[in-house]
Structure 1
């Protein structure tokens, strides 16, 4: 090989390597779970948590990274992708949604009992008359979601709280859902989230969820949503 050709080939190789490294640097990663697998027992068992986090959530992260090259979503934040998900493939939509939703879900759960507080409590009482009434409506949305999906308490752009459900791994940030808003609380009602312990009794799982809600995080979510409104 002539010297000029060799140098040109070497330069192309280095450029390709830099591109690969850049893609690796931009790749999404599985966030650390904020508690032990058994921390949410007896309401969510350790085996379910380990499988849910280590296999299901990890699969969404891995498959999102595989779908990124050539998608037009390279270098964008997860939230940027989610909010403009109609521009991307089904693989991006499903896996970006799965990654975002699960990251949100782990944060809204806590092994430490907390209670509704602050501005969110006041808004819930204004909107639903009571926390128990809000829970009842939320439970209906979660238990009534046909097939796989999620239920959410969201803050809409007009400042109203609303309870909705979404199919599959869609979420209220996405520009493809019927009702958009900022998620405050969310629950995963895919069977893998509860089947080992609750079998087909989704309603029991949804009721147990309220023993684990991190209301301090929900308050943070609400206050952050107010700033985005």
Structure 2
């Protein structure tokens, strides 16, 4: 090897040795930089985010057919009422809760919030109210002696109770609901609310625990009764499953 070739080889080798530490250091710095820019996942934050999300609700299936009691409510009204009106409330409630989350894991807890966004109030009320309505219309279930005694204690007689309940529905101006509720001291009382409000809400004239609700919106009865709301109320009261009502008592 001549002198010129020897010097060239030596210079290239020296340059490679000098560059290696720089390359290693550069690689370390790059890895360190990537690690620093990757956000750390905090389990508490994940749990907090999950727990703060609102639940999704679904349309409760009926355990009886739409034609279960056509002597009182026609099948077409029942089908439209359940599959269209109630489903609409559920869809809009889920959207409202996604847009504006409200604290509470059950619909009851949500409706007890002091300040409800109007969409949650209207559609959450619609979902809760109708779910209760379908349940207490489940065929069967006569009054037990225990429930009779509680009703007589609060209203003097079964007949007086039924008349007061029907009157609450008849006197509700426009659309709304008639309710049988329990107060904080567990006594029974009757009240009514407009639109899709209910006694769980802070806006109710009288708050309490609802155990029976009758829908007096026209879509609940108009095909069969037209403007005869009183006749609808008298008939629907005779279809109530009183076992279901009693099961809701606290």
Coarse TM-score class (shorter-chain normalised)? 0.7 to 0.9
* CA contact 2:181–2:210 (8 Å) conserved in 1: yes
**Count of residue pairs the alignment pairs up:** 207
Greater RCO, CA 8 A, separation 6+: 1
Within 2, Cα distance between the matches of 1:182 and 1:79? 10
Deviation at 1:214, TM superposition (A): 0.5
TM-score (norm 2): 0.77
Per the alignment, in what secondary structure is the counterpart of residue 208 of structure 1?
A: helix
Matched, 1:105 2:133: yes
Q: What is the aligned partner in structure 2 of residue 220 from structure 1? A: 247
Q: What is the aligned partner in structure 2 of residue 123 from structure 1? A: 150
Within 1, Cα distance between the matches of 2:211 and 2:103? 28
Residues 185 and 75 of structure 1: CA distance in aligned 2, closer, same or farther (over 3 Å): closer
Q: What is the aligned partner in structure 2 of residue 192 from structure 1? A: 219
Matched, 1:181 2:181: no
* CA contact 2:151–2:188 (8 Å) conserved in 1: yes
Matched, 1:79 2:108: yes
Q: What is the aligned partner in structure 1 of residue 168 from structure 2? A: 141
Greater CA radius of gyration, 1 or 2?
2
Q: What is the aligned partner in structure 2 of residue 47 from structure 1? A: 76
Deviation at 1:118, TM superposition (A): 3.6
Within 1, Cα distance between the matches of 2:199 and 2:131? 15
Residues 74 and 184 of structure 1: CA distance in aligned 2, closer, same or farther (over 3 Å): closer
Within 2, Cα distance between the matches of 1:75 and 1:159? 24
* CA contact 2:177–2:213 (8 Å) conserved in 1: yes
Within 2, Cα distance between the matches of 1:200 and 1:100? 25
Matches within 5 A, 1:2-41: 26-41=55-70
Per the alignment, in what secondary structure is the counterpart of residue 73 of structure 2?
A: coil
Within 2, Cα distance between the matches of 1:120 and 1:75? 31
The partner residue of 1:166 within 193, 206, 224 is: 193
Per the alignment, in what secondary structure is the counterpart of residue 181 of structure 2?
A: strand
Structure 1 residue ranges without an equivalent (≥5): 9-18
Q: What is the aligned partner in structure 2 of residue 96 from structure 1? A: 124
Per-residue CA deviation, residues 175-227 of structure 1 (Å, 9 max, x unaligned), is 221201111211000000000100000001001112210011111112xx2xx
Deviation at 1:141, TM superposition (A): 0.5
Structure 2 residue ranges without an equivalent (≥5): 1-33, 39-48
TM-score (norm 1): 0.83
Within 1, Cα distance between the matches of 2:110 and 2:103? 9
The partner residue of 1:56 within 63, 77, 85 is: 85
Deviation at 1:30, TM superposition (A): 0.6
* CA contact 1:71–1:88 (8 Å) conserved in 2: no
Deviation at 1:75, TM superposition (A): 6.5
The structure 1 segments of at least 4 consecutive aligned residues displaced by more than 3 Å after TM superposition are none
Per-residue CA deviation, residues 17-42 of structure 1 (Å, 9 max, x unaligned), is xx99x97x932111111211000211
Deviation at 1:74, TM superposition (A): 6.5
